[in-house]
Amino acid sequence: MNIVLLGSGNVATRLGIAFSNAGHSIVQVWSRNIIHAKLLADQLETEAIDQLNELTTDGDLYIISVLDDAIPSLIKQLDYLTAPVVHTSGSTDMQVLAPFFMDYGVLYPLQTFSKSVDIDLSHTPFLLEASNDAVLEKLKSLTSSVSNTIQYCNSEQRIKLHIAAAFSCNFSNHLYAIAQELLSENNLDFDLIRPLILQTAEKVMHALPSEVQTGPAVRMDQLTLDRHRNQLLNHPDWFRIYNLLSDDIIKNIKR
């Protein structure tokens, strides 16, 4: 399949490399920043452009991987394309594409991506939505070449999934960062809690999170909770986060 990438960030980079390795042809990489476009295009041995009027019209699929806020203005400039146009956003409704294209859809990889970190996408879920069956089959064919987990997901379901991903990935990583700073302040190494993080993650691979919750809140250990709070008085933001999360764990127990 001949693919045009619109975007050169983390998602575009990882998808571009994966699709290329699976035998598809990335025929162009567009970015508003030509340096960024060239960095990815060089990896994919293809053409880099920063002007939309240089975009080829011979692509089989156009994949938009830009910031969500940039999608509306970008698609208005692509309404002449006749091949399917899809975006990769978890929180943007598919219908944003409807006024501009006959064939369109969403190709959402549920994964955290970094340009500098290689990733095997074979276990990454791809959530698909399309304007018609022909586009859906094209997206299934493409994504099944790199992943074993392909599922249809409408826009309303997808934004809920995106929120769940923020809780489980973005927020948990921020909590790791808080833990890192707390340890650093007390001359303790973050490596000390890496085994704990790993074990917690492994448990939810085989059980529901609510079934394996541990800690002072789930035990209703008020003495320990109070001791923790006293230690956080000099960090009011962390104090509020600690209370909010602990209270929510307790509420879940009582339901």
Final residue of a domain: which of 153, 175, 203?
153
User: pLDDT for 190-225, tens place per residue?
Assistant: 999 999 999 999 999 999 999 999 999 999 999 999
Query: DSSP letters of 174-230?
Result: HHHHHHHHHHHHTT--GGGGHHHHHHHHHHTTTS-GGGS--STTTTT-HHHHHHHHH
Whether residue 55 is found in the same domain as residue 84: yes
pLDDT digits (tens, 9 = 90+) for 19-46: 999 999 999 999 999 999 999 999 999 9
Average pLDDT of span 112-139: 94
- What mean pLDDT value characterizes the chain? 96
* Same domain? 137 vs 228: no
Q: Is there a single domain that holds both residue 148 and residue 165?
A: no
Q: Are residues 20 and 134 in the same domain?
A: yes
Q: For the chain, what percent of residues have pLDDT higher than 70? A: 99
Domain that holds residue 201: 158-254
Number of domains in the chain: 2
Has residue 148 got a pLDDT over 90? yes
Of 138, 153, 168, the domain-final residue = 153
Q: Are strands 2-6 and 126-130 parallel, antiparallel or unpaired?
A: unpaired
CATH number at residue 83: 3.40.50.720
CA pair distance 100, 82, nearest whole angstrom: 10
The predicted pLDDT at position 254 comes to 64
d(Cα 18, Cα 214) in Å, to the nearest integer?
A: 38
Token couple for 169: 């990935």
User: What is the structure's pLDDT at 102?
Assistant: 97
